[in-house]
Amino acid sequence: MNNTLSIIVPVYNEQENLGRVEKELQEYLNCAKVPTAVLFVDDGSQDLSLSIIKKICSRNPAFHYISLDRNYGLSTALKAGFDAVGSTLIGYIDSDLQTSPMDFNLLLDYIDTYDLVTGVRSDRKDAFLKKVSSLVANSIRRSFTQDGMDDTGCPLKIIIADYAKSIPMFKGLHRFLPAMVLLLNGKVKQVPVQHFPRIAGKAKFGLRNRLFGPLIDCFAYLWMKSNYISYKTEDKG
């Protein structure tokens, strides 16, 4: 089967970044290894993001959007994107462009063997406090999930669409996508990718939801894992 890719771009109050997002994604579409489209998911933005997105989509036939009726959070925006696309592969990148769309081609090199391929930011360009909080949060999450991932929060991923649409979703799930794919008996891989400083706009995650939020979500994940229904049939007639 020939793969197609939909890149989901969650957006919440990112009007300063959307011009760059359009330019860099269009450049990627020109060299993508598989036919690719873009889906913006506006998560109830209060600035001019939605009107800018509509203009971008009107002049780029491979760009599309959906807008949510209010701000639900990143996990819900991703779920809405998963549900909306019809491609065989689903990519995810943040609208702050701290990762490069060009690195989707690096992830695509492994998607025939793995069910989720995620970037790992090997040379992060964040402030010291953000680096430390993410390191602690990743260590806590990894001790709960045992998924072997060093940087599950990296905003550059490709996942087989059938897996994305089968994952039981909950708030905070964006931190647990590799673990959820493993729960579905899939295979995951991490690949080093580029990382850049945020140029415009404001970060949506502070110290509280980088440390305490993931800890609470870990217990939710453990509950789901212990109650998740999984079985194999031995025979039928």
Joined together, the tokens standing for residue 181 give: 């794919």
What's the chain's average pLDDT?
Answer: 86
Could you read off the pLDDT of 114-149 as tens digits, one per residue? 999 999 987 766 655 666 666 666 666 666 666 777
Contact assessment for residue 117 and residue 89, using Cβ atoms and an 8 Å cutoff: no
Spatial separation of the C-alpha atoms in residues 178 and 187, rounded to whole Å: 8
**Over 70: is that where the pLDDT of 19 sits?**
yes
State pTM to two decimals: 0.83
Task: Beginning with the edge strand found earlier in the chain, give each strand of the sheet holding 5-11 in spatial order.
Answer: 63-67, 36-42, 5-11, 89-93, 156-160, 116-121, 188-193
Q: What is the pLDDT of residue 218?
A: 74
Position 85 scores a pLDDT of: 97
Each domain of the chain, given as residue ranges in start order, spans: 5-227
- pLDDT interval class at 157 (50, 70, 90): very high
Residues 32-69 have pLDDT tens digits of 999 999 999 999 999 999 999 999 999 999 999 999 99
The C-alpha angle 63, 67, 72, rounded to 5 degrees, equals 130
Q: 3.90.550.10, 3.40.228.10, 3.40.720.10, 3.30.365.10: which CATH number matches 5-227? A: 3.90.550.10
Percent of residues, the chain, with pLDDT higher than 90: 57
